[in-house]
Every structure is written in C-alpha cells, then in structure tokens.
Amino acid sequence: MALIVQKYGGTSVGSVERIQAVAQRVYNTVKAGNSLVVVVSAMGKTTDGLVKLANEISPNPNRREMDMLLSTGEQVTIALLSMALQELGQPAISMTGAQVGIVTEAEHSRARILHIETTRLTRHIDAGKVVVVAGFQGTSSAGEMEITTLGRGGSDTSAVAIAAALQANFCEIYTDVPGILTTDPRLVAEAQLMDAITCNEMLELASLGAKVLHPRAVEIARNYGVPLVVRSSWTDAPGTWVTSAKPQGRSLINLEIARPVDAVEFDTDQAKVALLRVPDKPGVAARLFGEISRQKVDVDLIIQSVHEGNSNDIAFTVTTPILKRAEAVAAAIAPALRSQSNPKSDEAEVMVEHNIAKVSIAGAGMIGRPGVAAKMFATLAEAGVNIQMISTSEVKVSCVVNATECDRAVNALRSAFEIEAGGQGAGSRGELLTPNSSLLTPHSPPPVRGVALDLNQARLAIRQLPDRPGMAAKLFGLLAQHNISVDMIIQSQRCRVIDGVPRRDIAFTVSRIDGESAKKMLTQVAAELEWGEVVLDSAIAKVSIVGAGMVGQPGVAAKMFEALAEHQINIQMIATSEIKISCVVAQEQGVKALQVIHAAFGLAGSEKFVVPA
Ligand code: ADP
Ligand code: ASP
Ligand code: MG
C-alpha cells in the first residue's frame, strides 16, 4: 500500500462531469489499496476570472485582498470533489491550506512554504479518508494568520510540498496534456512526449516558459527527492517521470527557503575569446559557431548582446588546451564579418583572455529569489573581485573572474553561503528516483530535450557602467531589494574609457510586469552611481533549448543559431549555462523561432496533439 499525493489542474476539474471523473479515478486508486491526499486547483479559468474582476475595480489591487480573493477558487473545488467522493461511498474531507497548516512567508501573492503540519492530514488518512486540499494557498504563521497564495500555477508546488512533508511514495500531477512534451503543444502540435526528464532539465524548462509544472514544485522534488510524475487526466497512460538524484537529508523546516545554495564550484582551466563589434544581423552567430563546431571546439559559456551603434559583441569560454584552436577559428572568420565596402579597423576585433576562472554557486532554491545572486555579487565585491562575465540558470549562477582571484572568490563564497570545502550539491544528471526505476534506464537521450518560449520578458540595458568591483553587486542588490528577479545577464565585452573611467554596458532580462518599475527605479539612481542611460525594450521573446546531454557536444549552439539565421530571425542576446542556451529575439518572431528550433533538433513527431479547451 502506497501513500500518494495527486494533483488535478484547472481544466481537469473544469466542470461537474470532470470533477466526477476525478472522483472516480481517486476512488479507483483507493480501492487498489492506496492512501490518498488530493490537491486541486480552481475550476477551469476561475482564477483568471477573479483577477479580471479585481482589475475592473482597481488597476493595482492590494496584494492581501488579491490573496483573499484568489484563494476562494480552490475552496469551491475541494468541497465539490469531496462531495463527489462521498457520493461514490468514499469517505473524504476537504481542507483549506490554513486548515491543513500550510505555513508560508507573509509575502502575499508569491509566498514560499515554510512548513507543513502533518498531524491533521495523517489523522484523517489513518481514519481511511481521502483528504482533499486546496492548492496554491497557505497561511502566514506570525500572529495574524493571513491567507497567502503561492503565485500563479502554484498548486503543483502545494502538491509536491505535501508529498515531501508526508514522505509520500510519490506525487502525481494530472493535467490536460499526456505529460511533459518537447515543447508546448499549443504552439507546436508535433511536440513529442518524453517518458522521463531530470529535475534540473525540468527546472530550466519550467522557468523558461513551459508552464506544465510550476518551477518551485520541481525545486522541492529535487531537494527532497520526491518521485514526481506528470500524467493525463483523461487516460491511463504512464506520463512523464521527473527524476532526481538521491538528495542528502534535508530538514522540513523552512521547506522552500533553507539552503538555496548547496555547492560552490570553480574551474580554473578556462580562457575567453571575444569578437568585438560584429554586425547586428541574422547569421553572424551561426557562422561563427558553425565553424567552431566543424573544428570540434567545445565551447562552455556563450554570451552576446547588442550595444551602441547596433553592433554586437560575442564572447565564449573554452578550456585552456583548446584555446589556440578557438582563437584561430575566430581570427579566420573575423575578416568576413567586416563590412566589405568600407572596412573599419576596429570591426570584428578578436580579443583573447587567458587567465580566467569560472566560479559558480549551485543549488535548487534560487527561483524567484533575486537576493541569492545579489548576495553572490556582493560577496565578490567585498572580496575585491571584478566580474567579467555572468551566466545564470535556475540552478547555477556563474561568474568569470581573473584566475588569480579565484581562490579568494571561492573562499569568500563558501563562507557567505556556509558551504564546507569539498561539499557537493545534488548531481546534475538525475539518477532515477522513481518507484519502478528499472523501467526507466536512460537510453542516451538526445542532447536537446525540450524547447521553451517566454513571451513575458522585457530587456533592460544600462549604458556605460564603471568597470570596477561592486557594480554588479550594486545593480542586482537594488533589483533584489525590489524583489525583481533577473534572468539573462550580459556585460559587454568592449570597454570604453569615458572621463578617465573604463566603462561597460550591462543588459539583462526581467519579467515584463517588472520592466517599467525597474527602469524607473534604476533611472533614479543612475546619475549618482555614474551610470549612463537606462533603456527598456518590452517587445522581446526568449526562446531556449534545454538538455543535460549538450555538455561536450560542440554543434548544439551552432544548430540553434543556424535554424534562426535560415529564417532571417535576428538574435539580440545569447546566454548559456551548462544545460541551456537562450536567445532573445523580436517578440513577433518568438513563435516562429520556437517552431524552427524545435524542428531543427528533430524533436517533432508524426503524431499531433490536440489540447482540450
Ligand atoms: P493545469 O491547469 O493542469 O495546472 P497548466 O495549464 O498549468 O495545467 O499546464 C498545462 C499546459 O502547459 C498544457 O496545456 C500546455 O499548453 C502547456 N505546456 C507548455 N509547455 C509544455 C511542455 N513542454 N509540455 C507539456 N505542456 C506544456
Ligand atoms: N488556480 C491557480 C492559478 O490558476 C493555481 C493553480 O492552478 O495552480 O494560477
Ligand atoms: Mg498549472
């Protein structure tokens, strides 16, 4: 007999008939000898409807009142599902988040779970009842017991957190698609179902726009080793397992906020090659990385951003032994990137830096917590370490620094994040932690597992920041104070001396809803901090590929860039981490970009998915 947590999303409980179908599935699972906690979302598009009502009354509703309003949606479903179960003769009881004792931070509309009381849940389970719990909500602990919500899509997080707290055998997420697909089937009907994906890959996909799972649900599954599966509410097909390495024991206190970082890593065997001032037009990155991959040069980080005068800098890191080859490729390509009619001497300049090191913080607990990266930058600034390149992912923030400063950087980071020397985080390649793992022996997955599109981002650029330790710390510290999460961060490679001070541009992406306020806030401090202009572009799309197998596969980036170039899609920004490559393109080209990349990696199947409304 197993203890199972099942979660049913909005569409799956969208009508009385669907609630009855869910009740039947729950009943069958109990009859098969299992105990069950069922977490449900609000019916259909109820939450969207409530948001709309609020917006008709206030353009900027009070966040406490919003939580009061939105939490009602789930409360309807729990009562109805409980009744439907009772009609089938199955004892059941509904409970709100507060009744269970899902204790969260007092942060309205995006609260993190601190602790889940299991006493009441366990008592009802032991009495043979199915407990039906309202997803997406909790209660703040301190004094007033305010109702909080976890953020849109947060019922997944409720379910996985309850599974962790109860040490359930596994957690099943039932939804309107057959599992996790190579991309959103609403945008690419030929998307294919995966039978398994690692937590780290899913964390990236979820954060980069694949809304099939709430990213924080994946964080919890990874940190607590909760076996997790996404399945269809309409069929009995097995769905997709999200696999994780066996985690070290972790306390259930401060469930979502303890230890966002569990390792400090470094690599001193790195060198950087940059091509400065290359034309800002489709095909440039494709050409460079196409040649690099033909020469079998494996690049690590790649960054590219647009700067004044509409030219780009592209930089990448390689391991020292292959630097000569990488440099030769860049030098061979550079002449072709200069304008033929009127070549200027400073176009397509190749710049090489030998003595660099990459230092990283790694862990699952950084999503939506801008303070973690900010703390890394502040720690480096305090240690007097200048940051040359920044690469961010959901599970890692890496900074390229001067090699001579690596030891100092690592020591400072270890002490700031309380990491013992040699302490390792959970492995990036998930071992298979599923109830029947023998069925899921990995059959060397393709390098790219999935493609995601995020149309809700905006890009901010700050011109001419003084190039000295502490600038990134200042900037991202300010954003963190305003609770603004930053995704891609790119510092320009070219450095200009203005008023005797070397300066660089820095560009980054934020959620579109944070764009205007971030711009306003940064503009206010720009003069005081000797920054230049702050520029906002909201009409962007970010398209990303994710896969743990792309490590050590030289041609992956080239293939992505070539697919975009072939369709005349200009790349505005590139940022990579070990297991993802993201490109910013114009908003109106986002869907097309997703489709051509999905096709280029051969991810399309012959079967087409029709997603129920
Ligand atoms: P629920 O209400 O069950 O939580 P959601 O709407 O939150 O469902 O998430 C399911 C939706 O996620 C699917 O209908 C699909 O359009 C979208 N989606 C985006 N990317 C993916 C992907 N890679 N795999 C599966 N579904 C995806
Ligand atoms: N009902 C909430 C929402 O629509 C939570 C959820 O469904 O996960 O965002
Ligand atoms: Mg959802």
Distance 32 CA to ligand 3 centre (A): 27
Written as one letter, the residue type at 122 is: T
Of 308, 278, 182, 286, the closest CA to residue 569 belongs to: 286
97 lines ligand 2 (CB under 6 A): no
CA distance 68 to 45: 17
Distance 373 CA to ligand 2 centre (A): 28
Q: What is the 3-state secondary structure (H, E, C) of 69-131?
A: HHHHHHHHHHHHHHHHHHHCCCCEEEECHHHHCEEECCCCCCCCEEEECCHHHHHHHHCCCEE
Please indicate, yes or no, whether the overall pTM of this predicted structure exceeds 0.85: yes
Range from 25-29, 232-236, 382-386, 498-502 carrying the lowest mean pLDDT: 498-502
Q: Which ligand is nearest to the CA of 214?
A: 3
Mutate to test the pocket of ligand 1, among 6, 158, 175, 234 (most ligand atoms within 8 A of CB): 175
Atom 21 in ligand 1: which residue has the minimum CA distance?
184
Asked if residues 373 and 416 have their Cβ atoms less than 8 Å apart, the reply is no
Q: Which ligand is nearest to the CA of 157?
A: 2
* CA 175 to ligand 1: nearest atom: 3
* Residue 260 DSSP symbol: S
Of 287, 207, 233, 246, the closest CA to residue 450 belongs to: 207
| Fold entry, domain 3-176 | Carbamate kinase (3.40.1160)
* CA 152 to ligand 2: nearest atom: 9
Asked if residues 104 and 150 have their Cβ atoms less than 8 Å apart, the reply is yes
* CA 156 to ligand 1: nearest atom: 4
25 lines ligand 2 (CB under 6 A): no
Tell me which residues have their CB closer than 6 angstroms to ligand 1.
9-12, 41, 153, 175-177, 180-181, 183-186, 210-212, 450, 611
* Residue 213 DSSP symbol: S
Q: Which residues of 380-392 are buried (b: 16+ CB within 10 A; e: fewer)?
A: bbebebbbbbbbb
pLDDT of residue 428: 33
Atom 8 in ligand 2: which residue has the minimum CA distance?
153
Distance 72 CA to ligand 1 centre (A): 23
Say if residue 418's pLDDT is above 80. yes
CA distance 156 to 203: 13
Distance 60 CA to ligand 3 centre (A): 24
Q: Which ligand is nearest to the CA of 76?
A: 2
Distance 50 CA to ligand 2 centre (A): 11
192 lines ligand 2 (CB under 6 A): no
pLDDT of residue 162: 98
User: Which band of pLDDT confidence, cut at 50, 70 and 90, is reported for residue 425?
Assistant: very low
Atom 5 in ligand 2: which residue has the minimum CA distance?
153
CA distance 484 to 500: 32
pLDDT tens-place string over residues 304-361 = 886 666 788 899 999 999 999 999 999 999 988 887 766 666 788 999 998 899 999 9
pLDDT tens-place string over residues 519-560 = 999 999 999 999 999 999 999 999 999 999 888 787 899 999
User: Which band of pLDDT confidence, cut at 50, 70 and 90, is reported for residue 426?
Assistant: very low
Asked if residues 241 and 227 have their Cβ atoms less than 8 Å apart, the reply is yes
Distance 404 CA to ligand 1 centre (A): 46
Distance 176 CA to ligand 2 centre (A): 14
40 lines ligand 2 (CB under 6 A): no
Long-range contacts of 17-20 (CB under 8 A, 24+ apart): 18/233, 19/43, 19/77, 19/80, 19/81, 19/84, 20/84
Distance 52 CA to ligand 1 centre (A): 21
Distance 99 CA to ligand 1 centre (A): 29
pLDDT of residue 312: 85
Distance 47 CA to ligand 2 centre (A): 6
pLDDT of residue 423: 43
41 lines ligand 2 (CB under 6 A): yes
pLDDT of residue 345: 64
Mutate to test the pocket of ligand 2, among 52, 70, 147, 160 (most ligand atoms within 8 A of CB): 70
Q: Rounded mean pLDDT of 117-122?
A: 97
Which superfamily, per CATH, for 262-600?
Answer: VC0802-like (3.30.2130.10)
Distance 184 CA to ligand 3 centre (A): 13
pLDDT of residue 31: 97
Q: Mean pLDDT score of the chain, rounded to an integer? A: 91
8 lines ligand 2 (CB under 6 A): no
pLDDT tens-place string over residues 449-467 = 999 999 999 999 999 999 8
pLDDT of residue 439: 43
Distance 293 CA to ligand 3 centre (A): 38
Q: Which ligand is nearest to the CA of 184?
A: 1
- Where are the domain boundaries for CATH 3.40.1160.10 in the chain? 3-176
Out of 139-153, 177-191, 340-354, give the one with best mean pLDDT: 177-191
CA distance 402 to 404: 5
pLDDT of residue 127: 98
Q: Rounded mean pLDDT of 272-282?
A: 90
pLDDT of residue 542: 96
User: Which band of pLDDT confidence, cut at 50, 70 and 90, is reported for residue 433?
Assistant: very low
Atom 9 in ligand 1: which residue has the minimum CA distance?
212
* CA 151 to ligand 2: nearest atom: 9
547 lines ligand 2 (CB under 6 A): no
- Where are the domain boundaries for CATH 3.30.2130.10 in the chain? 262-600
* CA 73 to ligand 2: nearest atom: 1
Pairing of strands 302-306, 396-402: unpaired
Written as one letter, the residue type at 597 is: I
3-class secondary structure, 592: helix
Atom 4 in ligand 2: which residue has the minimum CA distance?
47
pLDDT of residue 307: 66
Helix 63-87 crosses helix 46-57 at what angle (to 10 degrees)?
A: 150
Q: Which ligand is nearest to the CA of 155?
A: 2
* Residue 246 DSSP symbol: P
Distance 9 CA to ligand 2 centre (A): 7
Q: Which ligand is nearest to the CA of 39?
A: 2
Query: In whole angstroms, what separates CA 537 from the centre of its chain?
Result: 21
Q: Using a pLDDT cut of 90, give the percent of the chain over it.
A: 72
Q: Which ligand is nearest to the CA of 9?
A: 1
* Residue 249 DSSP symbol: P
Q: Using a pLDDT cut of 70, give the percent of the chain over it.
A: 94
Q: Which ligand is nearest to the CA of 136?
A: 2
User: Which band of pLDDT confidence, cut at 50, 70 and 90, is reported for residue 432?
Assistant: very low
Distance 90 CA to ligand 2 centre (A): 26
Distance 516 CA to ligand 3 centre (A): 27
155 lines ligand 2 (CB under 6 A): yes
